[in-house]
Amino acid sequence: MRIIMTKNMEKKYIPLATFFQVTTQNEITLSFSALENIIGQSLPNAAYLNMSWWKKTKPPLSHYLSWTNSGFYVVDVKLGASVTFCRNHTRASTNQVPENNENSSAYIIRTIEASDAKAFINLQEEIFHETEFMYNAPSELDLTVQQLRKDLSSWKKLKNRTILLCILEGTFAGYAFIHGYKHSRVKHVASVHLAVKIEHHRQGIGQTLMDEVESWSKERAITKLELSVMAHNVSALQLFEKIGFQHEGKRLQSIMLNDTFIDEYTLGKIL
């Protein structure tokens, strides 16, 4: 899913436009926090103070295009709390069920922003506590907001490192970390670390994140992706094999997990 620039729309609202493009719901209420998670930035003060900021549909500001371009209009605003959007300005009845209701949750993929630092660290901690397939123990996580923001600044200069975030209905659901190398002879290679919260498994998020990893990498002349997977992480292996990663080796007893040695597979994909 690519985030496309929409004509005359303010750039910061493109992720929100993408969200409304993919949602299948006819009516949706989003908290201010969820809206800011989707956008990756804070809403302006006017959004917190003025009802008219949400109800407007005319220039000079064009933030409203992020929902009106997909046929949504604002039908209710609780300033500082939540906003309700309805498709075609017709409120869904309480008995109406959207089509494809089984998969009605919408998510977007976007690159991390400095304002996401705290939320990303919280997401990482949640995932580390619910799975044994990460390479650090929860007690070993020492990344700080300040350090992450510093890293993000340096990554922009390198242009071959980032974190892609999956935001589902305004909450952080997973991420893919792309780590390109500095040295000239391996600048065409990047390692990838993928993680999705357990409650959002089997929703296509992992594959969508990897699709975006490939698109982002190709735009930066990265022609090979590499990753490592613990040998007993069957679902991850199945995903990566499905999307074209090839086994390149096996590291015997490379991981110590619960006092047991675990083998590790290395996989790669030429883009």
pLDDT tens-digit map of 161-172: 999 999 999 999
Share of the chain above pLDDT 70, in %: 90
pLDDT band at 3; cut points 50, 70, 90: very low
| Mean per-residue pLDDT over the chain, rounded | 89
Q: Lowest mean pLDDT: which of 95-99, 118-122, 197-201? A: 95-99
Quote the pLDDT of residue 139: 64
Mean pLDDT of 216-232: 96
Quote the pLDDT of residue 138: 64
Predicted TM-score (pTM) above 0.95: no
- Decide if pLDDT at 126 tops 80: yes
Measured distance CA(11)–CA(9) in Å, rounded: 6
pLDDT band at 97; cut points 50, 70, 90: very low
pLDDT band at 111; cut points 50, 70, 90: very high
239 residue type, one letter: L
Geometric angle at alpha carbon 155, from 106 and 126, rounded to 5°: 45
Mean pLDDT of 258-263: 92
- Decide if pLDDT at 93 tops 90: no
Share of the chain above pLDDT 90, in %: 76
- Decide if pLDDT at 36 tops 90: yes
Measured distance CA(18)–CA(238) in Å, rounded: 29
In the numeric block, which tokens belong to residue 94? 């309480």
Is the peptide bond prior to 60 cis by the omega test (within 30 degrees of 0)? Answer: yes
Q: Phi and psi of 27, rounded to 5°?
A: -140, 135
